[in-house]
Amino acid sequence: MAKEVAKALGYLHVDTGAMYRAVAWHCLENRIDPLDEKAVSRVVRGIDLRLVPKEGHVVVSLEGEDVTEKIRQPRVGELAAHVARHPAVREEMLRLQRKLATGGGVVMDGRDIGTVVLPHADLKVFLTATAEERARRRHRELLARGETITYQEVYQSVKRRDEIDSSRSISPLRKAEDAVEIDTTGRSITEVVDEILALCAAKGGRVCSTS
C-alpha cells in the first residue's frame, strides 16, 4: 500500500523493514548470532547497505548485491525482529532513514516511523489488520515467489514478529498520537491507497509515514 501511494505521488518509497531484514540476512549468511548484540553491532557499523531507486522501485543493495527478494523469506523476517532490538542497529538505521527523508517527497513505511523516525511527518498513517489477514497476504506473496510454506507457518511467524516488536524496550510498535488509523482488514489495496491519497491531498504534505 505504501509503495502504491508513493508511486501515485511520485515520491520515494522507503521500506525500513527491508533495512532490518538486510542486516538479518547478512547475519544469517555469515553465521552471526542475531541475539549477540556486540557481534550484530559490529556488523551494522561496517556493512554497505543502500536503498537504490531503480525503474520505479527501490532495490535493497547489501555489499553491492541486490538482496531485494532474498530478504523476504519468513526466517529472515523473524531474525530481523531480533536484530532490531539492538540499540546500535536502531541508531544506525535511524541515521540512514532520516537521511533518506531529507528534503521530503518520501513515503516511509515501518513500525516506528511516526513515533521515532519522523515524529514531525506531515501525515502519519497507522495501518492495522488482523494477524490472520496479514498472514494470508504474506502467504500469497510467498507462494507467488515460488516459496514452499504453509499458511500456518506464516501465521505463527507474523504472531511472533508482532510480539517481539511490541514488547521491545527501544522504539516499540505503537501508534503515534496524531496518526490516522486505518483498518485494512477485508479491504482492497486500491481502496486503502485512495483513502491515504485523499489524506495526503488534504494535508498538502511532502513526507508521509505509514506504520
Residue 211: per-residue pLDDT: 61
Amino acid identity of 207? V
Q: Tell me, what's the pLDDT at 210?
A: 62
What lies within 8 Å, CB to CB, of 45 at 6+ separation is: 88, 92
CA-CA distance, 67 to 83, in Å (whole number)?
Answer: 17
- The answer to whether 107 and 208 are in contact (CB under 8 A) is yes
**pLDDT the model gives residue 208:** 62
Task: For residues 69 and 169, give the distance between their C-alpha atoms in angstroms, rounded to a whole number.
Answer: 30
Please give the grid coordinates belonging to residue 190: 486500491
Mean pLDDT (10-residue bins), the chain, 211 residues: 92 91 94 93 89 81 93 87 90 90 90 91 93 92 88 91 77 86 94 95 69 61
Residue-level pLDDT at 166:
80
Q: What is the pLDDT of residue 139?
A: 92
Secondary structure (3-state) at 135: helix
d(CA 39, CA 26): 12
CATH of 2-210, one of 3.40.50.720, 3.30.1330.10, 3.40.50.300, 3.40.50.150: 3.40.50.300
For residues 79 and 119, give the distance between their C-alpha atoms in angstroms, rounded to a whole number.
26
**Cα–Cα distance, 26 to 46 (Å, whole number):** 11
Over the stretch 93-122, which tens digit does the pLDDT of each residue have?
A: 999 899 989 888 899 998 889 999 999 999
Q: Which among 180, 14, 175, 16 is positioned nearest to 93, based on CA atoms?
A: 16
Q: What is the largest CA-CA distance in the chain?
A: 48
Q: What is the per-residue pLDDT across 119-145, written as a single tens digit (0 to 9) for each?
A: 999 999 999 999 999 999 989 988 998
**Is the separation of the CB atoms in 171 and 90 below 8 Å?**
yes
Which helix (H) or strand (E) segment is 131 a member of? Answer: helix 131-144
Domain boundaries, the chain: 2-210
The whole-angstrom separation of Cα 122 and Cα 125 is 10
25 neighbors 31 (Cβ within 8 angstroms) = no
Residue 94 has a CB neighbour count (10 Å cut-off) of 15
**Are 26 and 83 within 8 A, CB to CB?**
no
Q: Which of 66, 54, 59, 58 is nearest to 25 (CA)?
A: 66
